[in-house]
Chain A
Amino acid sequence: MKLWIGGAIFVAILMGITWMMAGGDIGANDTMGSLAMLGALATAVIAIFVSIKYVRQIQEEKAGGELADENWDGIGEYKNELPMGWAVLFLATTVWAVWYYLVGYPLNAYSQIGEYNEEVAIHDASFADKHANLDAQTLVKMGESVFIVQCSQCHGLAADGIDGKAANLNKRIEEKSVRHAIVNGANNLGYAAPMPDRNGLFNMNTGALITDAEIATVSKYVANGMKGAGEDVFQGTCAACHGSDGKGMEFVAPSIADFNPELVATVLKHGKKGVIGAMPAFDLLNEQQIKAVGAYVTSLSK
């Protein structure tokens, strides 16, 4: 009896505290507030009185039933039926465990790589979507950002090649690079037939192999932006592959008169090793970025 009275007082105190903390704000028309108070009361009553019920049970009830045969140092066991709720829970847990073990974990487990793949797919889709139709100017701007992140360490922030450490991209090509290509040939960019070295370069005007003097003039001519002395040597020796304007021919030879996005893409795909140094092939960029950086590099020497 004492327990029950104590419980009732305890519930009253709990409700009092709750009222002081929150109840003061509950107006007469506040249905939600009143319902919440009612819920609090129900919770308190159930919690307290269920506890009391079990405490009473421990105090008063005695276990009974038929004793099992075994006993351990005087401690025995009754042969009672399993409580229904316990048995159901046990079976349900077993079934769940088998499911989790065979299906749940192996097939539904969290995978970091799976999450990464989703992240990439979502990003790629939104990237393609957002940049589907860029105008030329935005493309160049985007290319500049790519350039600063991926290329400026070698080519410099101003794309000037940092005192000859890499190619100066503000002009198409240096004299020494042209000379190097003529003397040694070139086979960086994956053309079916590479550029031959000087022992394979015939000047059709003279009908002989290209000479030292001709190499010097034509190198200056190309480095100068296809201007000045040397045009005859160029037309006689190089135009067959590089085109009479030096702008290259598809599948035959690249442009040496100017940069274009396709050329930059080819350089990125194959890398380049020349007289200035070595540039690695790049596979970090996506198609849109390659296009953009190509547009940017092209814009530098325009």
Chain B
Amino acid sequence: MFHWLEKHPFFFAVAVFVTIAFAGLVEILPNFAEASRPTIGTKPYSTLELAGRHVYIKNSCNACHSQLIRPFKSETDRYGAYSLSGEYAYDRPFLWGSKRTGPDLMRIGNVRTTDWHENHMWDPAGVVPGSIMPAYRWMFANEADVDTAYAEQVTVNKVFNVPYNKPIPMKDGSTETVPMAASLDAAKAEALADAKVIVADMKNQDVKDMVASGKIPEIVALIAYLNSLK
């Protein structure tokens, strides 16, 4: 065996690598495989939530907000339970962020509600005195891009086998299913139905009118996404 390896430099190099990296391979790889599996209770995003996620990325919210709670008492007191890698299983790309001008948003859905986000995105300083977060008023008029969101859903479902239309185990032992529509039109209808639920808790009349006429403003998609961060 050894003589054979000595005569084949490529395999010799591989064997050297395996020998040197052996401890790393047995310690890191199984852990990695285990930790990157979705945690119980982690669901893929619905069409509307994905559209909101695109709004979040488009406006670089991640430049000021992280989505990663580190295991320190000071962090978990303020933001909730520390993040687990499996919770990012359906984040493509993940939005960990590296800078906290504003607070972490990993679990913002637990402590803020639709109507608060509506007030805050319209005028942050109106609810948090002295806030330096910019207002995002155009989101109340711009339409969300549901087409791209649906395209992403189909892609991740085909390529990465993200479990849409399949029961997903929840923490309390029940299961939930995140639907993925069969066609773009059906996806739009589904997103609109979700948007109507959100808008029922909102006050801005222009936004209500838009949704009533079948359009989804960016703010509604964004709030759907923020509410899903738990």
Contacts and interface: CB of A to CB of B under 8 A. Distances in A.
A284 B127 contact: no
A278 B113 contact: yes
Interface residues of B, number: 23
Nearest to B75: A116
B128 A284 contact: no
A105 interface: yes
A146 to B, nearest CB: 11
A79 B219 CA distance: 82
B113 A277 contact: yes
B116 A113 contact: no
A138 interface: no
Interface string A165-204: 1100000000000000000000000000000000000000
Nearest to B107: A284
B27 A105 contact: yes
A280 interface: yes
Contacts of A149: 78
B80 A284 contact: yes
Interface of B: 23, 27, 71-73, 76-78, 80, 82, 110-116, 119, 126-129, 201
Interface of A: 101, 105, 112-113, 115-116, 119-120, 123, 149-150, 153-154, 156-157, 162, 165-166, 277-280, 282-284
B106 to A, nearest CB: 13
- Prevailing SS type, chain A contact patch: helix
Nearest to B202: A277
B129 A157 contact: yes
A111 to B, nearest CB: 10
B61 to A, nearest CB: 17
B121 to A, nearest CB: 13
B201 A113 contact: no
